[in-house]
Chain A
């Protein structure tokens, strides 16, 4: 059996000093096949971004390992391109400059002309042609995330990590960019791990959806394969029974685990003192 492209093996992450330690992630296991599009879905505060930082190598695991093609990940690198939620663009550089910085660093052997062509190709790919010399400050939110995508893709990463890339955008821009990401992925397949809090988005885009249980001590729960045919058309998908069923299944599961977590939490609630309101009305 081939090695999984990306593997999380019994990873724990926590913070705080010993004794009063809070575990954010506990015993997380995940295997992502090559060229698979996996969506990890979870509630806010459940440690989604921690998981992403772990995959990117920005944060070390306290226990367990993250492996890429069998090799342990210890530090970040351009082979795992990460798309940050808040774009992380360099505001003093132009659109072209932002992409060029990455290209120059990852492909230092490129000639100047090749590099220009390479940068331009990725700017065109995310439909930002014509805005090459604008600064990020002059771009809309959607355009900024496109630029961030162009920068990440221009490094030609083996694995693409999307950390809630669309959650800061309005609904229309979001749909637009979802299509764009899928189009680019279909043109040039690679392994993708996307974190999201939107079930529709996950069903529309991913090959497989994995649920992250609410934290603390979050871990990966059930996994739902998405067998819908590609290309998926968002306009007709709403009437597709398979889509509806899957969406309902995932949603129900998420709601259930959330209630379960709430119930678990209630068990440790401190009991309130018994107080009776005193009647102050005139006797």
Chain B
């Protein structure tokens, strides 16, 4: 019994792997359950270990090649640097989370947190001081070392320069004399020309020799010992932490919401007592005004939320939401229109020119068009009911739904609509004639024919189209965000490109991986959906 239960579990797992399209892991599961170990181990080696080794080789190649290419934004980052940049981006996100909670804390919790943060801050400050001292020491040592390395070269350079200068003066004197001789007729012009040519040649050679030495010195200067960079980075990280902790302290103390509210309330109370004791009409009026103002401010502050800066994970969430909106728009248009195209050749003929002309249009063009068109719909986006509604929703509200999101989503929809439409039309028009004969014998009406025969039969192709659409949509969205500075991963990449800090290049490559991995998972989700509606094989339902 237990045996068969285990078997059942195993086959369930294998089916799940199959449906989700991770067939590579099939032999691993079989191996774990002890099925034909030799054969399965061979499969694992061939189709799992070999690809992993290959990817590792690629990473190795990247690590070796990257630092050799120097760009204006520094060296091309290695995989390790990219990973570090990703971790830093993640830390930034966590810090934002901490500050957000700090901002909203009140009462005894706040007190407890203040002591904790103060303690941490003191520790970090000490550590930071130490690191700073160490970094300075290392830097000083490195400077000395560099100076020591440069000194002999400098000396050589100076000597060479002096020698060259002397030689040049001598040559110039000789040329002058020769010119006089030519004037006197005791030498030929040809000889003078030759002397000038030789002089130029000698000067060039001297300059090249000087330049070589100078380059050598520059190289020594620009390549400080690795230790300098390392200690400096350690100090930077600690200093960042110190800065973050003091920011936290600020959000716990002065910048805290409850503190701000109570401050406003106190002001109101003071104004109130002033109002009670005031005698002249003008004093009463001004006191009353400040009471009302204080009340309003207290109420507004209580509503306030922490002004987050956009971190990478926020941008990921927003991009996912935008692509989802665009994808749904595309599906809602593509499926009914595709069905109509598939059913009626005239409709197909009418739409073919439109599809053929608009399908190849670049997303960038659509973005600009939608930016103009959508902008006209929302003259006052802050108070537009649509955005007010979205802003009030949980999860979605904090993503900041605005016209930029709408036109990005429209651009996604415009580019994603075609594959879904064409595939749906194909699915409907290529429906098996036998199935239609069944419908005719049963005398099914239009709607039952549509919902019981046509749609179920074309669903696999519809989903195949939707899968392509989602892939296209995700690609288009990132480009659209980068171009239009609409919040999302695309904007993150663009901002990094513009910002040009030491981590920027690594951040861009990290974002590139994030985009790729998300795209991969979106595709996988669509594969699972597609396979769950396809009926060609028995593995339709899990």
Q: Which residues of A contact B (CB under 8 A)?
A: 56, 58, 75-78, 80-82, 84, 86-88, 90-93, 101-102, 105-106, 135, 137-138, 155
Contacts and interface: CB of A to CB of B under 8 A. Distances in A.
Contact of B536 (A90, A91, A105): A91
A102 B535 CA distance: 20
Given A90-B453, A92-B456, A105 B444 contact: yes
B170 interface: no
Contacts of B384: none
A88 B434 CA distance: 5
Interface of B: 432, 434-435, 437-438, 440-444, 448, 452-453, 456-457, 459, 533, 535-538, 540
A92 B454 CA distance: 11
Nearest to B536: A137
Contact of A105 (B443, B459, B533): B443
Contacts of B438: 88, 90
Nearest to A101: B452
A90 B437 CA distance: 11
Contact of A137 (B442, B444, B538): B538
B247 to A, nearest CB: 58
A148 B535 CA distance: 18
21 contacts: A56-B441, A58-B437, A58-B441, A76-B441, A77-B443, A82-B441, A84-B434, A84-B437, A87-B434, A88-B438, A90-B435, A90-B456, A90-B457, A91-B535, A92-B456, A92-B457, A92-B535, A101-B442, A105-B443, A105-B448, A135-B540
Contact of A138 (B440, B448, B457, B538): B538
Q: Tell me whether chain A's interface is mostly helix, strand or loop, or mixed.
A: loop
Nearest to A91: B535
Given A77-B443, A78-B443, A90-B435, A135 B459 contact: no
B331 to A, nearest CB: 20
A2 B471 CA distance: 67
A146 to B, nearest CB: 16
A131 to B, nearest CB: 13
A77 B442 CA distance: 6
A135 B442 contact: no
Given A90-B457, A135-B535, 6 more contacts: A88-B437, A90-B452, A90-B456, A91-B535, A105-B448, A135-B538
Contacts of B442: 78, 101-102, 105-106, 155
B441 A77 contact: yes
A92 B459 contact: yes
Contacts of A56: 441
Given A78-B443, A84-B437, A137 B453 contact: no
Contacts of B448: 105
Contacts of B453: 90
Nearest to A81: B441
Contacts of A90: 435, 438, 452-453, 456-457
A94 to B, nearest CB: 11
Contacts of A91: 535-536
A132 to B, nearest CB: 15
Considering residues A77, A78, A105, which has the most beta carbons from chain B within 10 angstroms of its beta carbon?
A105
